[in-house]
């Protein structure tokens, strides 16, 4: 049985307050939300996604001022960044309060927080009256949802309610930036670009997201495991030049129109005008359409390695790794 789909924010908030799971639209991708302080509800999020509990969740707030409900400190760098980019697609890693359950943070001493730039999402969180833990609303490792329809297809029978917030405007997950240490570390490229962040805080280092913690709260890394992400079922290969395919049942994913289309059975062009924002907004839906074509393989051409192109290349690389091919 599939879940009720609604635009009634009051109804969805009541379900969250009662320990239910509500998928909701944000500007990045759809999230699968639960009351952050309700461990049973949070456990159901991991179960519904088939997500390993060593992968921590992002806590969503209605207002920047709510940060102190989950974070133990708010350093000046974090303050500067929230003033500039919140509400928006930037997640900050901060020292956590003890009241945030370990299940949410995978035992880490830090918590990931963001304020989404989406009116309905913020209303939902505000009416729920508690911060909302929410990973992307897709089964673990699969393509992220950018419409309510995508969520129904992937998780419709495992959630209590779906709040339809329309198509996600940004279309790629938030940027994850660790500001809990001395220097900011970029853990996941996303909707706010590295260049935009550096214009506020200076150069940032690149790091990788953790996969849980040992009993001392020290991140444990499981190489390769969490890189298997954002993946279609069809094999995806990245090719700098889209050469004519040997097998005609091949799809092509292009950033902008290009004349090297010959021999492909389906072609998806992400932006006619070569605009990275437009390409990001169309990306996951295009990957899904290609995945539905029963192709032998999908070939993707890399994006320019600037701005949102970095985040897009990151998602392509992970999708290719998952299907056994590499950049
Ligand atoms: O745009 C987004 O961020 C979406 C929407 C729903 O807000 N959410 C999302 O959540 O992408 P998820 O669970 O798919 O990705 C969360 C990322 C993971 O890579 C996780 O490892 C990282 O955030 N993360 C969460 N807590 C962390 C922490 N304490 N330290 C470092 N990384 C953390
Ligand atoms: Mg995800």
**Domains (range + CATH), the chain:** 5-216 (3.90.870.10), 236-323 (3.40.50.11030)
Percent of the chain with pLDDT over 70: 92
Is 220:282 a contact under the CB 8 Å cutoff?
no
Using pLDDT thresholds of 50, 70 and 90, give the confidence band for residue 326: very low
Residue 131: which of 64, 191, 61, 179 has the closest Cα? 61
The confidence score (pLDDT) of residue 323 equals 67
**Alpha-carbon gap, residue 112 to 110, rounded angstroms:** 7
Instruction: Report whether pLDDT(327) > 50.
Output: no
Task: Please give the average per-residue pLDDT across 281-290, as a whole number.
Answer: 98
252 Cβ closer than 6 Å to some ligand 1 atom: no
Question: pLDDT tens for residues 175-232?
Answer: 999 999 999 999 999 999 999 999 999 999 999 877 666 666 666 654 344 555 778 9
Q: How far is the CA of 123 from the centre of ligand 2 (A)?
A: 22
Q: Is 0.75 surpassed by the pTM of this model? A: yes
187 Cβ closer than 6 Å to some ligand 1 atom: yes
Instruction: Report whether pLDDT(309) > 90.
Output: yes
Q: How far is the CA of 324 from the centre of ligand 1 (A)?
A: 24
Question: pLDDT tens for residues 109-161?
Answer: 999 999 999 999 999 999 999 999 999 999 998 999 999 999 999 999 999 99
Integer CA distances (angstroms), 306 to 206, 252, 303, in order: 15, 22, 8
213 Cβ closer than 6 Å to some ligand 1 atom: no
176 Cβ closer than 6 Å to some ligand 1 atom: yes
Integer CA distances (angstroms), 261 to 56, 282, 320, in order: 41, 19, 20
Q: Give nearest CA residue, ligand 1 atom 3.
A: 174
What is the chain's mean pLDDT, rounded?
92
The confidence score (pLDDT) of residue 209 equals 74
**Sheet of 58-60, strand order:** 5-6, 161-163, 22-24, 31-35, 132-133, 58-60, 110-114, 90-95, 175-178, 185-188, 205-206
138 Cβ closer than 6 Å to some ligand 1 atom: no
**Strands, E assignment, the chain:** 5-6, 22-24, 31-35, 58-60, 90-95, 110-114, 132-133, 161-163, 175-178, 185-188, 205-206, 236-238, 250-254, 266-269, 297-300
**Alpha-carbon gap, residue 188 to 39, rounded angstroms:** 26
Q: Give nearest CA residue, ligand 1 atom 20.
A: 56
Instruction: Report whether pLDDT(262) > 90.
Output: no
Q: How far is the CA of 55 from the centre of ligand 1 (A)?
A: 8
The confidence score (pLDDT) of residue 218 equals 65
Instruction: Report whether pLDDT(324) > 80.
Output: no
Q: Which two tokens stand for residue 48?
A: 């519904």
Is 146:285 a contact under the CB 8 Å cutoff?
yes
SS3 277: helix
The confidence score (pLDDT) of residue 224 equals 40
Cα of first residue to Cα of last residue in the chain, in angstroms, is 40
93 Cβ closer than 6 Å to some ligand 1 atom: yes
The confidence score (pLDDT) of residue 225 equals 46
The confidence score (pLDDT) of residue 113 equals 98
**Residue 253 burial (C-beta neighbours within 10 Å; 0-12, 13-18, 19+):** buried
The confidence score (pLDDT) of residue 223 equals 39
């Amino acid at each position: 049985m599939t879940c009720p789909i609604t635009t009634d924010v009051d109804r969805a908030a009541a379900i969250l307050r009662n320990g239910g799971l509500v998928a909701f639209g944000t500007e990045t991708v759809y999230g699968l939300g639960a009351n952050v302080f309700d461990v049973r509800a949070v456990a159901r999020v991991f179960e519904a996604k088939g997500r390993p509990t060593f992968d921590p969740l992002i806590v969503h707030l209605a207002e920047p001022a709510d940060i102190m409900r989950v974070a133990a400190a708010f350093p000046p760098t974090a303050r500067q960044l929230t003033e500039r980019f919140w509400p928006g697609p930037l997640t900050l890693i901060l020292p956590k309060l003890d009241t945030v359950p370990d299940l949410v943070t995978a035992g880490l001493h830090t918590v990931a927080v963001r304020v989404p730039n989406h009116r309905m999402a913020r209303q939902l969180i505000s009416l729920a009256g508690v911060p909302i833990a929410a990973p992307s609303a897709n089964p673990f490792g699969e393509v992220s949802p950018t419409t309510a329809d995508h969520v129904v297809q992937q998780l419709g029978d495992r959630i209590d309610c779906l709040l339809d917030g329309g198509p996600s405007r940004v279309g790629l997950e938030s940027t994850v930036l660790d500001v809990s240490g001395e220097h900011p570390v970029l853990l996941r490229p996303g909707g706010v670009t590295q260049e935009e962040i550096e214009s506020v805080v200076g150069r940032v280092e690149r790091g990788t997201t953790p996969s849980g913690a040992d009993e001392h709260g020290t991140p444990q890394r499981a190489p390769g495991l969490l890189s298997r992400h954002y993946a279609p079922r069809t094999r995806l290969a990245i090719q700098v030049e889209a050469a004519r395919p040997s097998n005609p049942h091949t799809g092509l994913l292009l950033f902008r129109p290009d004349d090297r289309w010959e021999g492909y059975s389906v072609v998806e062009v992400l932006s006619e005008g070569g605009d990275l924002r437009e390409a990001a907004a169309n990306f996951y839906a295009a990957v899904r359409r290609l995945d539905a074509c029963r192709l032998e393989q999908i070939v993707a051409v890399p994006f320019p390695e600037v701005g949102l192109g970095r985040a897009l290349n990151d998602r392509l690389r992970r999708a290719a790794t998952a299907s056994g091919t590499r950049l």
